[in-house]
């Protein structure tokens, strides 16, 4: 299967700061998604981004498929951004491989 590595594993930010989360994957993919897991455990889909760049408010994501990595940018962080961020990759559509996540804490 696809090996997915995320960095950093933990991140503490002051409210208002910006951050970049990275996801490396070991094989070519045709489906790459970013999720935010809230404190109640639910995974909320942030982006479907197998290639290119997308933006949604304070969040944006870029995937460089040829170099097998994706980045999630969080600007002007808020306490509600706290949680664990996962990327998940697939090259079949049947099975998604998740990284171990980046745990983000935003302090006021």
- Residues in contact with another protein by CB under 8 A are 4, 30-31, 33, 35, 40-45, 48, 50, 86, 88, 91-101
Contact 29, 23 (CB under 8 A): no
Q: Does the bond joining 7 to the residue before it have cis omega, within 30 degrees of 0?
A: no
**Which of residues 88 and 106 has its CB atom nearest to another protein in the complex?**
88
DSSP 3-state assignment of 39? coil
Report, in Å, the least distance between residue 40 CB and another protein.
7
**Which of residues 19 and 96 has its CB atom nearest to another protein in the complex?**
96
Contact 99, 8 (CB under 8 A): no
Report, in Å, the least distance between residue 65 CB and another protein.
13
| Nearest Cα to Cα of residue 48 among 76, 4, 1, 88 | 88
Report, in Å, the least distance between residue 106 CB and another protein.
20
**Which of residues 76 and 92 has its CB atom nearest to another protein in the complex?**
92
């Amino acid at each position: 299967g696809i090996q997915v590595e995320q960095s950093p594993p933990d991140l503490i930010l002051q409210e208002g700061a910006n951050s970049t989360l990275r996801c490396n994957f070991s094989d070519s993919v045709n489906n790459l998604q970013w999720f935010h897991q809230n404190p109640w455990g639910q995974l909320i889909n942030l982006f479907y981004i197998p290639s290119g760049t997308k933006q949604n408010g304070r969040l944006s994501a870029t995937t460089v498929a040829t170099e097998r990595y994706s980045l999630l940018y969080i600007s002007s962080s808020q306490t509600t951004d706290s949680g664990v961020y996962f990327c998940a990759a697939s090259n079949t559509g049947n099975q998604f491989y998740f990284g171990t996540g980046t745990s983000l804490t935003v302090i006021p």
